[in-house]
Structure 1
Amino acid sequence: MFTLIFTQDKVPEQARAVAVITDASSACMLALDPSASQAALFSGSTSVKLNGCSVMSNSIASDAIKVQGSAGLQADCLISAGGVSLSNPVTTVCAVPITQALPAGDPFVDLPAPVAATPCQNDNKATLGPGTYCSGMNLKGNVTLSPGVYVVQGSFKINANAAITGSGVTIFMSGSSTVSMNGNASVKLSASTSGTYSGVLFYGDRTGMIASSTFNGTADSLLTGAIYFPKQQVNYLGNFSGNGGCTRVVANTIQWSGNSTINQDCSSLGVPNIPAARSVALSE
């Protein structure tokens, strides 16, 4: 009505608001499934300490992140697109878990799948080279993996009492191929620190069916890099992490029952930070 003092014509009114979406935290563990119950589960007597990073679940389930039994967990925060279920207190920097959060993006969604090459390689040598293992990899005794990309068509199995080492490696599990590591094996593997697959140690095929891979080993084992299985559940049973605590797990769902300390800043080892919750704020 105030404009009638100056003109009898209608004056259009406009308003403008600009929202900015920013990453609010980094995750050491990210469960991608959008609806699974207990998408990120910590159970048994596990003791997990995440220094400078969070646990993130994209699931909208009321128990998308669950800590049960006598499990102990320390983290920057627990962040869930759904809810959080705690059977005992956890130690976090944030005052309370963040629930109903925006889901996190898949940090490796644009990572290309390695192309299988010929001829097929065999796994019955003490030193193995990169290439395509058409019948899987069944590792026994002392085995060294040379740097490069390994395409595994079939299971990747590390047997009891084996000692497996390798640096600068990426192991691509083709289709629905799975990983199985025996708890009495010593496994010391690290990802490349440069190139296309920098920081990615295990890469599960995103075209595969739902399956489950298990990571275990003796307490002196080291898995340095990202364990990425967008279509599989990762069962992490080992009482270890990576060099300097540099292990990341991004999977469809995660079950953790090992004792581990994991650190946030692993850029010097080629391991990328993983954005977790995103926040929305008005900028103008």
Structure 2
Amino acid sequence: KVQGSASLKADCLITVGGMVLNNPVTTKCASKITQALPAADPFSSLPAPAVTNPCRNVNASKTTQTLQPGTYCSGMNLNGNVALSSGTYVVQGNLKINAGAVITCAAPCTNGVTIFMSGSNTVSMNGNATVTLSAPTSGTYSGVLFYGDRTGVWAQSTFNGTATSLLTGAIYFPKQQVNYLGNFSGKGGCTQVVADTVQWSGNSTINQDCTAYGMDGITAATSIVLVE
């Protein structure tokens, strides 16, 4: 679904179900394709990260803090200046990034971060927040910035932010709708969105050629053609 101030430019538009295009769309293909075969899940073999003990917590009253990888059993409510040290974060609760928050990867940020949302928990990123995060470029979660649990039920996660925000890596929510509403993207436009459904609004640039950031390309399903 493309709405709001968003416009879309792509080689082709192919969906398993339908599509709602309320704004200008530019494609190289002659027409959009609906009711297509589903593409293979590019992250189907990605394991869920292990839960670690003890639980970590966020001090929501602090205006400046550095967080460490681990399991956050009560979710994450982020305010002020928050730096995430490189590694994997398991969030057992919702992740809320509030207005005015500035979220970065803590220096030296040797290999980026992966944020795993356990169960049906969601991400809510406020439009006045500035978030600059990159996925790891090596290891099990190479190229994956956000990872939604496959065991969850349908929910919605919202990614919004200022024009200077950078989310570099894959946003993977196989059981959720992803609302991508901001005027931002990743380094070189390298943000991939893989989700149950996707709603676009805003002025983002999305680029599929992200091999430099440890991300594989996402291919469309094979077409079936009848030949006489």
TM-score by length of structure 1 reads 0.73
Distance in structure 2 (CA, Å) of the matches to 1:223 and 1:105: 24
Cα distance change of structure 1 residues 122 and 74 upon mapping to structure 2, 3 Å threshold: same
Q: 1:105 aligns with which of 40, 63, 67?
A: 40
Q: How many pairs were matched up?
A: 217
How big is each residue's C-alpha offset from its partner over 1:75-123, in whole Å with a ceiling of 9 and x where there is no partner?
0101123445545552101122233422111111111000110011122
Q: Which one has the largest radius of gyration?
A: 1
Q: 1:265 aligns with which of 178, 186, 209?
A: 209
Distance in structure 2 (CA, Å) of the matches to 1:155 and 1:120: 15
Which one scores higher on RCO, CA 8 angstroms, separation ≥ 6? 1
What percentage of aligned pairs have identical amino acids?
A: 73
Instruction: Give the aligned residue type for 1:76.
Output: D
Instruction: Give the aligned residue type for 1:44.
Output: G
Where does structure 2 lack aligned partners over 5 or more consecutive residues?
none
Q: 1:183 aligns with which of 127, 135, 145?
A: 127
Distance in structure 2 (CA, Å) of the matches to 1:90 and 1:218: 24
- Secondary structure in structure 2 of the residue aligned to 1:260: coil
How big is each residue's C-alpha offset from its partner over 1:165-216, in whole Å with a ceiling of 9 and x where there is no partner?
0251000000111101111111001100011100000000010111111101
TM-score by length of structure 2 reads 0.90
Cα distance change of structure 1 residues 227 and 118 upon mapping to structure 2, 3 Å threshold: same
Q: Which moved more, 1:230-239 or 1:85-94?
A: 85-94
Where does structure 1 lack aligned partners over 5 or more consecutive residues?
1-40, 47-71
Cα distance change of structure 1 residues 152 and 85 upon mapping to structure 2, 3 Å threshold: closer
How big is each residue's C-alpha offset from its partner over 1:131-186, in whole Å with a ceiling of 9 and x where there is no partner?
00001111111110010000000011111111100251000000111101111111
How big is each residue's C-alpha offset from its partner over 1:230-277, in whole Å with a ceiling of 9 and x where there is no partner?
111111111001011000001111111121111121001012211113
CA contact 1:137–1:154 (8 Å) conserved in 2 = yes
Query: What residue in structure 2 maps to residue 45 of structure 1?
Result: 5
- Select the structure that is richer in strand: 1
